[in-house]
Amino acid sequence: MQRVLIVWLVGVGALGSGAWGQRRITEAQFLSLLTPEHPAVARAVADVGVADAERLSAAVVEDPRIGFEREDLGDAGREDVLSLSWTAPFDGRRGLGVQAAEARLAAAEARRAAALLQARSEMRRVFAGWVLASERAALLEASIGRLEEVLESSAARAEKGEDSPLAAGRIELSA
């Protein structure tokens, strides 16, 4: 999973930057790709939703019954009775079930936060590697430029007889 994430992130970074070295991207811009829909955290976000639904289900009063009765009292009028009844949970299981569901919700939220932190940490590691690699590439390009200048001057000195052709050949081989 992490390797797929790394490859995906590097690919997005390469495609998003146009050409290497032409556009600077900040760490904040790179981390902005990590949204709740991101595959690295989507599962943990979904688990929070499931745990929240389970908590709501545990808190619902079971089997409520609504009743309506109308009694005709003759000359005294009539009496309408609307009632709501349910079986009270005297054994204490409902309260414990609600507490357990709330604990599962808290655990799911903690796992989501941990997944987000882990994904952010991995993205920061990838970003740091990417920045270091691009800086190394820039340094190597500058070094190659200087080496080519030395090669030209060494070849010119070798043609004039001021330097050994063997030394110029070694510099050319290094370049």
Using DSSP, state whether 164 is helix, strand or coil: coil
Answer whether residue 59 shows pLDDT above 60. yes
The pLDDT score that the predictor gives to residue 13 is 53
Backbone φ, ψ for residue 110 (5° rounding): -65, -40
pLDDT tens column, 108-131: 999 989 988 898 889 899 999 998
Read off the tokens for 5. Answer: 């994430």
pLDDT tens by residue, 63-101: 778 999 988 887 888 888 999 887 776 777 778 888 999
Q: Answer yes or no: are the C-beta atoms of 169 and 156 closer than 8 Å.
A: no
